[in-house]
Amino acid sequence: MPIFYTEDHEWLRVEGDVATIGITDYAQSQLGDVVFVELPQVGRTLKKGEAVAVVESVKAASDVYAPLTGEVIEANEALVADPAQVNADATSAWFFKLRLADTTELGGLMDEAAYQAHTA
C-alpha cells in the first residue's frame, strides 16, 4: 500500500480508490500533546486543499486539509474519545477515509523521501 505525503503534513495510505488520511509524526511532534480532534462528517464531499478537520494541542490548533478530492466514507471516532493516540502513533491514528474522485491527483503528492527532504 503506497504512502503519500502533503506539504501540509498529512499522510495518505491509498488502497484502490480509498485513501486513509492522518497527520504525520512530524506534525504531531510540532503540535505537542494533542487534546482534541474534530473529524469530518461521513458523506461530506471534499475538494482538494479544503480544511476538513481540526487537531488541537496544548500549544496550538491546526487544520487538517483534504489532500485530494472525494467523499468521506469513514471517520475514526476513536480519536475523538482518545486524541492522545495521535501522539502515541501518528502513522496508525488515522483521521478519516476518503473515496477518491480523481486518482490522478495523487501525482501532486510526495513520497517518503521527498517528504523527509521537505521537513529537513
* pLDDT tens digit sequence for 75-85: 999 999 999 99
- Whether residue 78 lies inside any domain: the answer is yes
What is d(CA 21, CA 23) in angstroms, rounded to the nearest whole number? Answer: 7
pLDDT number for residue 34 = 96
* pLDDT tens digit sequence for 54-81: 999 999 999 999 999 999 999 999 999 9
Tell me how crowded residue 104 is: count the other CB atoms within 10 A of its CB. Answer: 8
- Whether residue 110 lies inside any domain: the answer is no
- Whether residue 115 lies inside any domain: the answer is no
Query: Under a CB-based contact definition with an 8 Å cutoff, are residues 36 and 62 in contact?
Result: no
- Whether residue 119 lies inside any domain: the answer is no
Q: What is the CATH classification number for the domain harbouring 98? A: 2.40.50.100
Question: Which residues are paired to 49 by β-bridges?
Answer: none
- Whether residue 120 lies inside any domain: the answer is no
What is d(CA 33, CA 84) in angstroms, rounded to the nearest whole number? Answer: 7
pLDDT number for residue 10 = 97
pLDDT number for residue 1 = 76
- Whether residue 22 lies inside any domain: the answer is yes
Instruction: Report how many domains make up the chain.
Output: 1
pLDDT number for residue 80 = 95
pLDDT number for residue 66 = 96
**Range(s) of the domain holding residue 10:** 3-104
- Whether residue 111 lies inside any domain: the answer is no
- Whether residue 51 lies inside any domain: the answer is yes
